[in-house]
Every structure is written in C-alpha cells, then in structure tokens.
Amino acid sequence: QVQLVESGGGLVEAGESLRLSCAASGRMFSINAMDWYRQAPGKQRELVAVITRGGSTNYADSVKGRFTISRDQGKNTVYLQMNNLKPEDTAVYYCHTLSGGRHFWGQGTQVTVSS
C-alpha cells in the first residue's frame, strides 16, 4: 500500500505561482515513478508531469517551460512548482503512482487561477 497526501493548492491570479507537494508513505521501495495529473470541470483527467526513480522528467506540452516537477527522496515528497499560471490551469491536481501493479491516488488539491 502507498498513501499520497497533496497540499499547496489555492486561489491565485494569472501570472502568479504555486507549489504543490505530495507526501508519500508506505511501500515506497516498489515505486518507479510519480506523477501529477489534473482534472478540470467537464474534462478528462490529464497527465501533467512525471518524475522517474532515476530523476528523469517529462511534461505535458501545455505546461512545458512553466511547471517543474522535483522530489526530495529523504522526505518521500514530490513537488510541482507552477509558474506563470493561466486560467486554463484551473483544476483539481492529483498525485499518482503505480506500485505492484496497482494505481494509487491522492485526494486532490484544488488550484484556481483567476484572470
């Protein structure tokens, strides 16, 4: 079992920044990568950023150059630094990982960007 707890969401104006955190606990040894997804009202959940155990990262085209995923292995925490936020970034952001063939999700944190 893996437990994921997100924090750091909020209401900001366009152009501002937020940093999301995802604290992981449980069977961490079986995790190869951790991701951030987001889901806007009426839309499908989409992958935003990935960081592998080796530290490689990948991003959705819509956030490249603005978002940065990173991790602190000592704290078992993954971060999503979001700069130059846009109204279209408004969504619930979820931390996710795959372990032992099972998907684990956090409870989600709301990010709202006003224009």
pLDDT of residue 21: 97
On the question of pLDDT at 11 being above 80, the answer is yes
pLDDT 10s digits, 64-96: 999 999 998 888 899 999 999 999 999 999 999
Is residue 56 within 8 Å of residue 67, measured between CB atoms? no
pLDDT 10s digits, 18-48: 999 999 988 776 777 999 999 999 999 999 9
Both ends of the chain: CA-CA distance in Å?
A: 40
